[in-house]
Amino acid sequence: MKPVDEKLAKSFGLNAGEYAKVLEIMGRVPSFTELGIFSVMWSEHCSYKSSRVWLKELPTKAPWVIHGPGENAGVIDIGEGMAAIFKMESHNHPSFIEPYQGAATGVGGILRDVFTMGARPIANLNALRFGDPKLPVTKRVVDGVVRGIGGYGNCVGVPTVGGEVNFHPAYNGNPLVNAMTVGIAAQDKIFLSAAAGIGNPVVYVGSKTGRDGIHGATMASTEFDASSEEKRPTVQVGDPFTEKLLIEACLELMQTDAIVAIQDMGAAGLTSSSVEMAGKGGVGIELTLDNVPQRETGMSAYEMMLSESQERMLLVLKPERSEMARKIIEKWDLDYAIIGHITDTGRIVITHKGVVEADIPLAPLSDEAPLYRRPYVEAPKPEPLGPISSDMSLEAALLKLIACPDLCSRRWIFDQYDSTVGGQTVKRPAESDAAIVRLEGTNRALAITTDCTPRYCVADPEQGGAQAVAEAWRNITATGAKPLAVTDNMNFGNPEKPEIMGQFAGAIKGMAAACIALDFPVVSGNVSLYNETEGKGILPTPAIGAVGVLEDAALARGIAIAPGQDLVLIGATYGELGCSLYLREICGLETGAPPLVDLAAERANGDFVREQILQGNVAACHDLSDGGLLVAVTEMALAGNTGADLTQADTTPAFGFGEDQARYVLAVEDAEPLLTAAFAAGIPAQKIGHTTIDECLTLPGGVAISLSVLREANEGFFPAWFA
Amino acid sequence: MRAGILLFPGINRERDMVLAVRQSFGTEPRIVWHKETDLTGLDLVIIPGGFSFGDYLRCGAMAAQSPVMRAVRDHAERGGYVLGVCNGFQILTETGLLPGALLRNAGLRFLSMDTMLKVERNDTVFTAKYAKGEVFRAPMAHGDGNYTADEATLDRLEGEGLVAFRYHDENRNGSARAIAGVYSPNLRVLGLMPHPEDLVDPLMGGTDGKPLFDSLAAA
d(CA B46, CA A132): 48
pLDDT digits (tens, 9 = 90+) for B36-90: 999 999 999 999 999 999 999 999 999 999 999 999 999 999 999 999 999 999 9
Q: Which of A45, A215, A622, A690 is catalytic?
A: A45
Does this model's pTM top 0.80?
yes
Chain B residue with minimum CA distance to A417: B112
Q: Mark yes or no for CB contact A415/B16 under 8 Å.
A: no
Give A529's pLDDT tier (boundaries 50, 70, 90): very high
Per the document, the length of chain B is 219
Known binding residue A263? Answer is no
- The predicted model gives A553-558 an average pLDDT of 98
d(CA A405, CA A579): 16
Residues of B in contact with A553 (CB under 8 A): 203
Q: What is the pLDDT along chain B (219 residues), one digit of tens a residue?
A: 999 999 999 999 999 999 999 999 999 999 999 999 999 999 999 999 999 999 999 999 999 999 999 999 999 999 999 999 999 999 999 999 999 999 999 999 999 999 999 999 999 999 999 999 999 999 999 999 999 999 999 999 999 999 999 999 999 999 999 999 999 999 999 999 999 999 999 999 999 999 999 999 999
Residues of A in contact with B20 (CB under 8 A): 423
Chain A residue with minimum CA distance to B139: A420
pLDDT digits (tens, 9 = 90+) for A56-84: 999 999 999 999 999 999 999 999 999 99
A460 touches B at CB < 8 Å: no
- The predicted model gives A518-525 an average pLDDT of 98
d(CA A715, CA B12): 31
Residues of A in contact with B13 (CB under 8 A): 157, 421, 423
pLDDT at A231 over 70: no
Distance of CA A531 to the CA centre of its chain: 16
Q: Mark yes or no for CB contact A438/B56 under 8 Å.
A: no
Closest-CA distance, B164 to chain A, in angstroms, reads 23
Give A235's pLDDT tier (boundaries 50, 70, 90): confident
Which of B7, B8, B12 should one mutate to test binding to chain A, selecting the residue with the greatest count of A CBs within 10 A? B12
Known binding residue A378? Answer is no
Residues of B in contact with A240 (CB under 8 A): 51, 54
Q: Mark yes or no for CB contact A415/B111 under 8 Å.
A: yes
H-helix or E-strand spanning residue A705: strand A704-706
Q: How far is CA B124 from CA B90, B164, B209, in A?
A: 21, 9, 16
Give A232's pLDDT tier (boundaries 50, 70, 90): low
A553 touches B at CB < 8 Å: yes
pLDDT of residue A2: 79
Q: Mark yes or no for CB contact A241/B51 under 8 Å.
A: yes
Residues of B taking part in catalysis: 86, 195, 197
pLDDT at A619 over 70: yes
A224 touches B at CB < 8 Å: no
pLDDT at A25 over 70: yes
Q: If DSSP codes are grouped into helix, strand and coil, which group holds residue A302?
A: helix
What Rg do the C-alpha atoms of chain B give, in angstroms? Answer: 15
d(CA A642, CA A630): 15
Catalytic site includes residue A91: yes
Cβ contacts of residue A92 below 8 Å, gap of 6+? A174, A175, A176, A177, A178, A220, A491, A528, A531
Closest-CA distance, A44 to chain B, in angstroms, reads 35
Residues of B in contact with A149 (CB under 8 A): none
Q: Identify residues of B whose CB sits under 8 angstroms from chain A CBs.
A: 9-10, 12-13, 15-16, 19-20, 49-51, 53-56, 109-113, 139, 141, 143, 195, 197-198, 200-201, 203-205
pLDDT of residue A219: 59
A641 touches B at CB < 8 Å: no
A440 touches B at CB < 8 Å: yes
Q: Mark yes or no for CB contact A418/B112 under 8 Å.
A: yes
- The predicted model gives A703-720 an average pLDDT of 98
Q: Which among A416, A553, A554 has CB closest to B112?
A: A416
Closest-CA distance, B61 to chain A, in angstroms, reads 15
Q: How many Cα neighbours within 13 Å face the side chain of A333?
A: 12
Chain A residue with minimum CA distance to B52: A241
Residue A665 φ/ψ, nearest 5 degrees: -105, 125
Which of A111, A158, A237, A421 should one mutate to test binding to chain B, selecting the residue with the greatest count of B CBs within 10 A? A421
Give A267's pLDDT tier (boundaries 50, 70, 90): confident
Q: Mark yes or no for CB contact B15/A423 under 8 Å.
A: yes
- The predicted model gives A144-150 an average pLDDT of 98
| Domains observed in chain A | 1-60+192-369 (3.90.650.10), 394-420+557-723 (3.90.650.10)
pLDDT of residue B112: 98
pLDDT of residue A300: 94
With CA atoms as reference, report the closest residue to A180 among A117, A118, A99, A124.
A124
Q: Mark yes or no for CB contact B205/A421 under 8 Å.
A: no
Burial bucket for residue B145 (CB in 10 Å: 0-12, 13-18, 19+): buried
pLDDT of residue A534: 87
d(CA A687, CA A671): 7
A424 touches B at CB < 8 Å: yes
